[in-house]
């Protein structure tokens, strides 16, 4: 586990904060968040102590999948604002010393994108091969057995031209054909458009999907599939994802990003660890800077599981790579809903003290927990298409609560999704007045991370500890910090590797560390030389 240096790029030292624009703040009273709303609340983000903002898609879209169906890659959706509003936001972000990442969606476009409209117009269209079209199978059905990640066949018949087009997600999201060099060039031009405008990088949506196997063979059946599992899991996506040719396109994205300086590429790549690591590329031919690591979301929340995955993941990182961690996103159940509020405090300390770049999701700094979405308020197409499967993402996309005024200060109108039930007390204004709130904890942890390079750049050593306690050291430039986290309800006595000094941060109210760690408690302690 290598030790970094203060010359490390900003994204190795920094913390990313994800904003879901529909749900952050509404400036114009339509119940939907927008760019001006984000700009009005930038001080909240800056005061947290993060370094960069990642915006979920803001591009023109019919909103079949809430912006992940892009109809124009170089514009701004009217409900969010316009390019002038984006430029104002970007300038305001930079004035505060923050950086801005956009969500880049290269695998598919909206079927309302002019490219697809032209592609669909005729089999002889110059853009026909910009998308993946195939003749029906001999029985008239889909060309192969691929299943949409949203359920149902991954193919939609176009009666006018008699062919099917591929859609990995909704039928309104047609997959682009990255084997066509014109597509690769067009998407490079999109990235260049935003980089020239001043953005600091991209989170790249479903990057591992962008190339499909030649010939589009059937995917093998999944022998472990059982009733009650998501339909997409009926097959193993061996031929529809993670193709070797995708790495060449990723290297091209990286070369473009590097030509703009310290520009960050984060790849959404949901794969087993050994395959995930390939997306770092090699030292000579690097891939994305950070292939997203979902292991803290996807695994059980207990000491033994977490200790094992942390050690194994860190050991798997190539020498030229850098780890990253995330405990929540717009696609995943909120951490406080998963593990409860007490453990959500422990999770905050874990996220912000592990070796690697953390990504924090909006609202987790308030400890937003379970939000029940009434059937008539469900908006997520994944939930509507596969009801009762627990796949709904609305529960993670509910609006931010800013204060105790009507609609939590999010909007003057009824928000597009319900607020969390305890919003009158769980909001930014209330928590700012409480030194023991979740918001105060996140601010303390982020301040500690900024003040102590050992927490961002230091080498990490895991220690053997009893019971439910996970403990590790972070060491940098002569400073030794000891992190102890109790993932269980019972107190434990532990022995630090050296004499403990002052407490840097704690999840609770204790001000001294005597070797005892209470249930659901965490400490960052300075060790004496």
Structure-block tokens of residue 251: 């290297």
In the block, residue with structure tokens 């004499």: 499
The SS3 assignment for 499 reads coil
Per-residue buried b or exposed e for 310-347, using 16+ beta carbons within 10 Å of the residue's own CB: beebbeebeeebbbbbbbbbbbbbbbbbbbbebbbbbb
Phi, psi values for residue 103, rounded to 5°: -90, 115
Answer yes or no: 205 catalytic: yes
d(CA 176, CA 160): 20
- Which H or E run includes 38? helix 35-40
Per-residue buried b or exposed e for 242-271, using 16+ beta carbons within 10 Å of the residue's own CB: bbeebbebbbebbeebeeeeebbbbbbbbb
Among residues 34, 69, 172, 268, the one annotated as catalytic is 268
DSSP string, 434-495: -TTSHHHHHHHHHHHHHH-THHHHSEEEEE--STTEEEEEEEETTEEEEEEEE-SSS-EE--
Check if the beta carbon of residue 492 is closer than 8 Å to that of residue 469. yes
Structure-block tokens of residue 424: 């009158």
- Dihedral angle over CA of 71, 74, 78, 82, nearest 10: 180
Least Cα distance to 1 among 459, 309, 318, 478 occurs for 459
Q: Let me know if 18 is exposed, middle or buried by CB neighbors in 10 A (0-12, 13-18, 19+).
A: buried
Alpha helices in 352-410 (DSSP H): 381-385
Check if the beta carbon of residue 64 is closer than 8 Å to that of residue 173. yes
Check if the beta carbon of residue 278 is closer than 8 Å to that of residue 271. no
Answer yes or no: 268 catalytic: yes
The SS3 assignment for 427 reads coil
CB atoms within 10 A of CB 484: 24
Query: Which long-range CB contacts under 8 A does 153-159 form with residues at least 24 apart?
Result: 154/240, 158/120, 158/133
- Find the radius of gyration of the CA atoms of the chain: 23
d(CA 169, CA 68): 10
Among residues 77, 172, 200, 205, the one annotated as catalytic is 205
CA angle 297, 322, 19 (to 5 degrees): 50
Residues with a catalytic annotation lie at 205, 268
């Amino acid at each position: 586990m290598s030790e970094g240096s203060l010359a490390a790029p900003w994204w190795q030292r920094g913390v990313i904060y994800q904003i879901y624009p529909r749900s952050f703040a509404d400036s114009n009273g339509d119940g939907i968040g927008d760019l001006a709303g984000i700009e009005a609340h930038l001080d909240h983000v800056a005061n947290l102590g993060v370094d960069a903002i990642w915006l979920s898609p803001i591009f023109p879209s019919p909103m079949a999948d809430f912006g992940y169906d892009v109809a124009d890659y170089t514009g701004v959706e009217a409900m969010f604002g316009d390019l002038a509003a984006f430029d104002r936001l970007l300038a305001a972000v930079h004035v505060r010393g923050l950086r801005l990442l956009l969500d880049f969606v290269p695998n598919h476009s909206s079927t309302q994108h002019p490219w697809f409209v032209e592609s669909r117009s005729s089999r002889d269209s110059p853009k026909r091969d910009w998308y993946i079209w195939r003749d029906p199978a001999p029985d008239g059905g889909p060309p192969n057995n691929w299943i949409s990640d949203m359920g149902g066949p991954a193919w939609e018949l176009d009666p006018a031209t008699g062919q099917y087009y591929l859609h990995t997600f909704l039928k309104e999201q047609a997959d682009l054909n990255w084997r066509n060099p014109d597509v690769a060039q067009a998407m490079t031009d999109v990235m260049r458009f935003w980089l020239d405008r001043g953005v600091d990088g991209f989170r790249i949506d479903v990057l591992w999907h962008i190339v499909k196997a030649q010939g589009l063979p059937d995917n093998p059946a999944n022998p472990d599939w059982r009733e009650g599992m998501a339909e997409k899991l009926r097959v193993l996506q061996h031929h529809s994802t993670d193709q070797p040719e995708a790495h060449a396109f990723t290297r091209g994205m990286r070369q473009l990003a590097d030509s703009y300086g310290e520009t960050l590429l984060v790849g959404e790549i949901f794969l087993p660890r050994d395959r995930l690591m390939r997306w770092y590329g090699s030292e000579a031919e690097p891939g994305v800077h950070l292939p997203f690591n979902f292991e803290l979301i996807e695994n059980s929340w207990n000491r033994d599981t977490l200790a094992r995955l942390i050690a194994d993941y860190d050991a798997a990182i190539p020498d030229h790579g850098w780890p990253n961690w995330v405990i929540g996103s717009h696609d995943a159940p909120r951490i406080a809903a998963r593990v409860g509020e007490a453990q959500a405090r422990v999770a905050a300390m874990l996220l912000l003290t592990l070796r690697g770049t953390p990504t924090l999701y909006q609202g987790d700094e308030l400890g937003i927990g379970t939000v029940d979405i009434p059937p008539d308020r469900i908006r997520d197409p994944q939930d509507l298409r596969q009801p009762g499967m627990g796949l709904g993402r609305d529960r993670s996309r509910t609006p931010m609560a800013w204060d105790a005024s009507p609609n939590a200060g999010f909007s003057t109108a009824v928000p597009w999704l319900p607020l969390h039930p305890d919003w009158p007390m769980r909001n930014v204004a209330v928590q700012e007045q409480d030194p023991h709130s979740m918001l105060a904890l996140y601010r303390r942890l982020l301040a500690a991370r900024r003040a102590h390079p050992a927490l961002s750049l230091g080498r990490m050593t895991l220690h053997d500890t009893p019971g439910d306690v996970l403990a590790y050291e972070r060491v940098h430039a002569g400073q030794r910090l000891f992190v102890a986290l109790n993932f269980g309800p019972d107190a434990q006595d532990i022995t630090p590797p050296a004499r403990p000094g002052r407490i840097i941060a704690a999840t609770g109210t204790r001000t001294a560390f005597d070797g005892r760690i209470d249930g659901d408690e965490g400490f960052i302690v300075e060790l004496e030389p």
